[in-house]
Amino acid sequence: MSRTPYEWEDRLVALLLRHAAEGEAIHEKLARLVDILEAEEKALGRVTGKAPEKEGEQRYDHRLIEQHIPDGASVLDLGCGAGTLLSRLIQEKRVRGQGVEIDNAKVLECVANGVPVFQTNLDHGLGMFPDQSFDFVVLEKTVQTLNRPLPVLQEMVRVGKQGIVTFPNFGHWQMRLDLALNGRMPVTRAFPYEWYESPNIRPLTLNDFDACVQCQGMRIVEGHAVVGNTVRPLEPDDNLFAEEVMLIIEKAA
């Protein structure tokens, strides 16, 4: 049984109707909360069910990362997939690029895409890369899939001058409501898997990450959020409104 994103809305309405008589007060409040959240997000430009980029367009996160990386920089992409990002960076920005990927099929695609790739498991460490040997170390939508994410984050700021981390934000209000009201693990655009097949074994929120990097001796120096169909610099309430985030991290001085 699979659920489509935002199905929780219908369920919530049904739930509210069923219980309207007995618990009016609290459900009216809940309904009002959803109205408020939706209005808030609409004001931020949300279009339900639509990806931040249209089909065939470059992924928004790649666009963001590209904007951040200057010509001729060196980039290590952890969990680089088929090497799409690095391939562009190598061609457009003449970066010295190195990918790291575990998947057998994807490393072959990297070779086909002309991207140097080192096949390894991130959870086994990055000992082969010396300190500060890259300008940027990218970890795209991967941190939530790692067995031991903390050593990887530490390695990122050891190997790179800056780390670029993107992940889906489990703190988004839809996730919270879906879990709270349906009592099921949320299935949304950003978290599209059922619990039993999800690679996202460590779902985390923006605030979780923020707290974590602080106690790991790192800091977030810059951030962007996907809110509805817009991508914009991070704002204070984004733990509630960001579907995905892109964060630049550094070792704290």
Partner 1 sequence: MLDVNWARTVFPPGALDDPASVGLTSAHTVTLADENSPFRLDTGEFIAPVDVEYETYGTLSAARDNVVLVVHALSGDAHVAGWDYDAIQTGRKWRLRKPGWWDTVVGPGKPLDTRRYFLICANVLGSCYGTTGPGSPNPRTGQPYGLSFPMVTVGDWVNLQARLLDHLGIERILAVVGGSLGGQQVIEWMMAYPDRVEKAIVLAASAKLSAQGLAFNAVGRQTIMSDPNFNGGNYYGGPVPAQGLSAARMLAHITYLSDAAMDMKFGRRYRNKTKPDFDFGIEFEVESYLAYQGQSFVERFDANSYLYITRAMDYYDAAERWGGGNLVEACSRVTADTMVVSFSSDWLYPPAQCRELAAAFCQCGKPVTYIEVPSSYGHDAFLVETEIVGKLLADFLARERKR
Kindly tell me which residue out of 128, 201, 221, 252 binds partner 1, with binding defined by CB under 8 A: 128
119 binds partner 1 (CB under 8 A): yes
Does 78 bind partner 1 (CB under 8 A)? Our answer is no
96 binds partner 1 (CB under 8 A): yes
Told to check if 137 binds partner 1 by CB under 8 A, we report: no
Shortest gap between Cβ of 110 and partner 1 (angstroms)? 7
Q: Which of 40, 133, 135, 248 binds partner 1 (CB under 8 A)?
A: 133
Q: How far is the C-alpha of 39 from the C-alpha of 35, rounded, in Å?
A: 6
Applying CB under 8 A, does 130 fall inside the site for partner 1? yes
Check residue 72 for interaction with partner 1 (CB under 8 A). no
- Whether the Cβ atoms of residue 124 and residue 93 lie closer than 8 Å to each other: no
- How near is the Cβ of 109 to partner 1 at its closest, in Å? 9
Binds partner 1 (CB under 8 A): choice among 34, 69, 82, 129 = 129
Residue of the chain from 16, 52, 84, 98 that contacts partner 1 (CB under 8 A): 98
**Does 103 sit near partner 1 (CB under 8 A)?**
no
- Residues of this chain, 174-213, that bind partner 1 according to CB under 8 A: none
Q: Does 84 bind partner 1 (CB under 8 A)?
A: no
Number of residues that bind partner 1 (CB under 8 A): 24
- Closest contact distance (angstroms) between CB of 118 and partner 1 is 5
Intra-chain end-to-end CA distance of the chain, in Å: 49
Contacting residues toward partner 1, per CB under 8 A: 74, 90-91, 94, 96-98, 104, 107-108, 110-112, 114, 116-120, 127-130, 133
